[in-house]
Amino acid sequence: MLQWLSANIGTIAVCAVLAAVVTAIIIHLINNKRKGKNSCSCGCGCSGCAMKDTCHAGKEENKK
């Protein structure tokens, strides 16, 4: 077991770092969702966004 572990320590370390990065990204996205931030995370009208009519629908209704 120790021989296998020492032979694969580089791969294990890279996998651990990648898992930590993916976990941090997921936590960041969940926190943004809870705060009410959208995926584009900008305050503009998102004129170039394909989902411009749906992603800011709540903000437009509040202005009326």
Higher per-residue confidence, 21 vs 1: 21
pLDDT confidence of residue 10 = 96
Higher per-residue confidence, 54 vs 63: 54
pLDDT confidence of residue 33 = 85
So where are the chain's domains? Answer: 2-63
Characterize 5-42 residue by residue with b for buried, 16 or more Cβ atoms within 10 angstroms of its Cβ, and e for exposed. Answer: eeeeeeeeeeeeeeeeeeeeeeeeeeeeeeeeebeeee
pLDDT band at 58 (very low <50, low <70, confident <90, very high): low
